[in-house]
Every structure is written in structure tokens, then in C-alpha cells.
Amino acid sequence: MKTYTFEQIYFYGDNWYGKLQLPESAKFYKDYGFSDGQQNWYIFIPTKDITDINDVKLEGCIQVRDYQLLDYTILYLANITPNENWLTESEYTIQSYFKNWFSNTYLYRYATAQYNIEINKDAKNLDDIVHSELIQPETLLACYKIKALSSDAEITCTRVNLKHRIELKDDPFIDSVTLRLCDIPPQESYDSKEKLILNHDETLYDLSFNEVTSKLY
């Protein structure tokens, strides 16, 4: 493990000192900089090489964002000044690494199943108190294939769209879209309206791609 320090630029008060402890396997990439004193950096870490994110973010890291993308932990540091000579990979090299790490990574977006729930207050049996009726089955809305790293903690994907997210009507198209890393779950996430699944299974993506292209062309 090696220690890296930086100065965090803060526009509404005093700057502060930050410290990271990273394994030798970590890859650095300078995303961009407004000046030598105001830089944005990515750091990619194989998750197997760390035990806990708090062992990485040692001090002054309140503005250091961390994301889990399957087998990798990704740090994004905005508006910092490295105190050491942080060696950045070239854009070509980091994109090559990224493609190698995530070329077979897919995100699937579903509309969750919806039920009509009725409560029978007069029920005499426990099983009769709640009655549920399926009014909308779980529906695959879109499939995404991760393609490249973008700036500002975002990635570029090919999207195969199947359904309108609100009306759930057929809405087939294929395009390129940028997704924020903060909107991508480590593996799965659920809420009352949507479910997201991240994995290495291309089956649904390939089926959906063929279905949409046959409709469009």
C-alpha cells in the first residue's frame, strides 16, 4: 500500500488536506484540469485488493466520491491539487484498460411489477386480510452496453430502448447515451418504479438489439 496526499480546493472557505492509501494495482487518470491547482482525477482499484473503502479514504476525503462497478472501485476527485507527482495514464491507455475491464458489462432497466392491494378488515383468516392483484407485470425498458469512460464520473453506453419509461408503450430505438456512475448500482437496485441490474450477461442485450433492429430496418 502507498500513501497519496492532496489539497482539496474549497470555494466557500479554507482548503484542506486529504490522504489516500492505495494498493500498487491502482490506476490513475487525470480527467482534466482548469489549472495546475484545480484538477480532476479518476482512480481505478481492483476491489479484491482492498478490504474496506474507509481503509482507502484515510483523511479529508469528504468530497472524494467512490463508486462500485462490479469488480472495480472507482474514485473521483474533483478540484484538487496532488501533493506528489501522480502519474496519469494516457487517455488511450485508460480507455484501453476500461474497455478490457468492462467490454462485456451490461445494465438492464426494468419497470417493476405493480399490484393493486386491498385490505379486508372483516377477514376472519389471516390469509384473507390482504388481497393483491397484478395490474402491471415487470417490464424490460432498456438495455445498456458499457462502451467507454467519459468525464466527470460518467460513462458512455450503447442503449437499446424497448419501452417508454412512463407510458410503457413500444418505443424502439438505439442510441449512445451518457450515464452517471452514481446512478449505476453495484449489482442490483430497486425502488417502487424501477429495477436496475448490472452484470456480464449479454443474452437480453443481444436479443433486444436484434428485436429493435428488425423493427427499425
86-99 pLDDT tens trace: 999 999 999 999 99
Residue with cell 452517471: 180
Residue 5's Cα: distance from chain center in Å?
26
Instruction: Please tell me the predicted confidence (pLDDT) of residue 118.
Output: 79
pLDDT at 166 exceeding the cut of 90: no
172-198 pLDDT tens trace: 999 999 999 999 988 778 777 889 999
Sheet with 106-111, strands from edge to edge, namely 170-180, 154-163, 139-149, 106-111, 194-199, 188-190
What is this structure's pTM?
Answer: 0.87
Q: State how far the alpha carbon of 147 is from the alpha carbons of 84, 151, 212, 213, in Å.
A: 32, 13, 19, 19
Predicted confidence band at 124 (pLDDT cuts at 50, 70, 90)?
A: low
